[in-house]
Chains A and B, each alone.
Chain A
Amino acid sequence: MKRKIIDFIIEKIIFLCGVLSIVFVVLIFCFLLKEGVSFFKDYDVFKFVFGKLWYPSSEPAQFGILALIVGSIYVTAGACLIAVPLGVAAALYISEIAPAGVRDVLKSCVELMAAVPSVVIGFVGMATLVPFVRELFDIPTGLTAFSGSIMLAFMAMPTIVTISEDAIRSVPWSYKEGALALGATRWQTIRRIVLKAAMPGIIAAIMLGIGRVIGETMAVMMITGNAAHIPSSIFEPVRTMTATIAAEMGETVRGGMHYKSLFAIGLVLFVITFSVNFIADLILGKKKRK
């Protein structure tokens, strides 16, 4: 009898822990929404999203985040241009071509890469890449969207490689055997059959990589120069949404307009990453059900 009661209590605790994730997501959303909504009571949503000027501490204060959104897009797009082809190619090599022993080593390397803290990447970028970019392109500062994109590409790669690799490996053997039996070379099989069959998983991997880059904070804050204006090329300093929150939260008055505006940016970020992850999950889920 006693055992049954203990079992019952423990199972209830386990259930509670199970639903806790939902509670946290809702809680995060509510807290962002609470501050965000009270900000939008005093500041027009349209002016917030499409305003070009971000002068949070001037009189009257301007809270237009268009430049920050454009900054985030520049850095993210640049990082993806580098990380996606390299990441997918590496995933193909690791899962289909590399011999078994090499594969384990490479996978461990990729996993170690994922562990390097973003503040360390930011610092190394500042110390090496930034002066290099300045001299190479002969521009006034190396703190640019371009430098940020390169460093962020390294951070997106582990995500893209690991998840694409899973997708590529889960392509059924019979597909490959079929193609090889028809006389296709291994590369033809990989390109025409494996890549196609794994495509939904690879797309999901790319989206998760994008999600990671959009949300990345410390490295972009240290490398991209933090100028809140709409850049005309990728060789200019930009400022992302994440960096704005991290850089300015320390100087705000708790509960003031500036403070609330940063929560509103957080809300925008949350909505973006939520949608990206949601879609990626749908793609991955659909594939699994097949």
Chain B
Amino acid sequence: MFKLSPKLSQKIFYALLFMATLLVITPAAIIIYIIIKNGASAITWEFLTSMPKDGMRGGGIFPAIVGTLCIVLCAISLTLPIGVCAAIYLNEYAKDNLLTRIIKLAIVNLAGVPSVVYGLFGLGIFVMFMNFGVSIIAGALTLSIMELPVIITTARGALSGVPHSFREASMSLGVSRWQTIRHIVLPNALPGILTGAILSIARISGETAPILFTAAAFYVPHMPTSIYDQVMALPYHLYIISTQIPNMPKNIIFGTALVLLMMVLSMSLIAIVARIYFRKTRKW
């Protein structure tokens, strides 16, 4: 059989792998390019700060932006403290026993539950059972449970990155375990925890399925006044105007997609750059 020399086959396969990598990366670049090219013309100050008009076909997307900010801020302020505490437990206190293994399994599975199933769960427990109705708080609670495993995993990574010698030095001075965590471990893990939190905020800003039945409304003519109000949300708004409304001007849909994409990507980029920066400047 015809056989390639090892050197040549290495060259060929390296080229193939390189092409595969390009194929993975370029579609995302194309998607971003298409949205910017078609959407940039729609972005004006008025588009960002006014209400929708003419059955969504005109005006702006201000209420959707506000709604998304409300839901996301609510969700992250619920999930961050719980997630960080859970990470502290797993990294600093938990022994290698059955309970710890079950907790880890639970986290893995929480991370794998489909987003629409979170939506069902939120509808069942927060909207119906706890009677919050379709509201900011119901959506935020749903999203916060969905994001919990991600927060725990990144926070745990940040905590376990703090060298053991730091803890030993502190504890050998007679400082209690919690005091050590509070004053030594947490401050050193903070950059990692925060970048993880920003990535989470970016991710939940774009989630649609979990808020479909728990928080989002087709159209709300006023701004939310309490956490029990329904709101418009940016991802849901994009879904509505791109599928449910006939004769929708294309540039408004692309403009909405662009705003959502920029929100999500800029936050992710900040987190990624911050992480690289902290990695370079850390003390150990």
Contact = CB atoms under 8 A, between A and B. Distances in A.
Interface of A: 3-4, 6-7, 10-11, 13-22, 24-25, 27-28, 31-32, 34-35, 85-87, 89-90, 92-94, 97-98, 104, 106, 108-113, 115-124, 126-128, 154, 157, 161, 184-188, 191, 208, 211-212, 214-218, 222, 242, 245-246, 249-250, 254, 262-263, 266, 269-270, 273-274, 276-278, 280-281
A124 B103 CA distance: 38
15 contacts: A14-B86, A14-B93, A17-B85, A18-B89, A21-B106, A25-B106, A28-B113, A32-B120, A89-B16, A90-B20, A97-B17, A126-B243, A128-B34, A188-B10, A216-B115
Interface in B236-257: 236, 238-239, 242-243, 250, 253-254, 257
B109 interface: yes
B106 A246 contact: no
Interface of B: 6-7, 9-10, 13-14, 16-18, 20-21, 23-25, 27-28, 31-32, 34-35, 81-83, 85-86, 88-90, 93-94, 99, 102-103, 105-121, 123-125, 128-129, 145, 148-149, 152, 176-179, 199, 202-203, 205-209, 212-213, 235-236, 238-239, 242-243, 250, 253-254, 257, 260-261, 264-265, 268-269, 272, 276
A281 B14 CA distance: 31
B235 A119 contact: yes
Contacts of A191: 13
A216 to B, nearest CB: 7
A31 B125 contact: yes
Contact of A90 (B24, B105, B202, B250): B24
B40 to A, nearest CB: 15
B261 A117 contact: yes
A216 B13 contact: no
A115 B176 CA distance: 40
B112 A10 contact: no
A211 B265 CA distance: 24
A278 B28 contact: no
A93 B17 contact: yes
Contacts of B10: 185-188
Contacts of A85: 20
Given A25-B106, A249-B213, A119 B117 contact: no
B103 A274 contact: no
A241 B114 CA distance: 11
A270 to B, nearest CB: 6
A15 B112 CA distance: 23
A87 B111 CA distance: 20
Nearest to B123: A249
A276 B115 CA distance: 16
A43 to B, nearest CB: 18
B206 A246 contact: no
B110 A21 contact: yes
Given A115-B202, A249-B213, A278-B109, A109 B117 contact: no
A11 B178 contact: yes
B85 A273 contact: no
Contact of A187 (B14, B25, B102): B14
B238 A120 contact: yes
Contact of B94 (A3, A18, A90): A18
